[in-house]
Amino acid sequence: MELTSENVFAVIDDCFAGKDALPVNTITIAGVRVDYIFNPKKVQAHKQNIESMIDQLPLMFRSTGDGAGLGGSFLDMVIDINNNQWTDLHGVAEGLLALGIAIGKMDYNLPRSLWHALPGGMPYVYIK
């Protein structure tokens, strides 16, 4: 699946847990600004699409990439592997990050309590 704002929005919309979902039937992912509450079955149904979009992020985000395993700043998630800006909204990149965490493919490098020490107060993230 191509990494576009529209595709990320579509997957997020399909994966959101409904307003009547019980907490035992959901997974909550702490995003950069907001929490995401997903239906785990729908997330798993989209796993291949989510992985495909994550794989289009720059190499610096990979745990074996140019950053010697450190990943990259969340602020740089709006750029793809070909150095093109794939979205103009960091909220869309945050949604992709939340989906990546939900499938166990992405994570934060440091706990939230240390983000203030990073450039822009934004976390560094990596692809496992």
Q: Does the pTM exceed 0.85?
A: yes
Q: What are the CA-CA distances from residue 111 to residues 10, 34, 104, 108, 121 (Å)? A: 29, 15, 16, 7, 12
Residues 6 or more apart whose CB falls under 8 angstroms from that of 57 comprise 3, 77, 79, 80, 81, 127
Which pLDDT value is given to residue 22? 73
Q: What is the pLDDT of residue 85?
A: 97
Q: Could you give the number of structural domains in the chain? A: 1
User: Angle 90-102/5-15 helices, nearest 10 degrees?
Assistant: 50
Q: Apex CA 99: angle with CA 85 and CA 80, to 5°?
A: 20
Per-residue pLDDT in tens (0 to 9) along the chain, 128 residues: 999 999 999 999 999 987 777 777 899 999 999 999 999 999 999 999 999 999 999 988 987 655 456 789 999 999 999 999 999 999 999 999 999 999 999 999 999 999 999 988 999 999 98
Range of the domain at 48: 5-127
Q: Which residues are CB-neighbours of 104 under 8 A, at least 6 positions away?
A: 128
Predicted pLDDT of residue 68: 55
Tokens standing for residue 86: 């794939």
User: What does the pLDDT read at residue 62?
Assistant: 87
pLDDT value at residue 64: 63
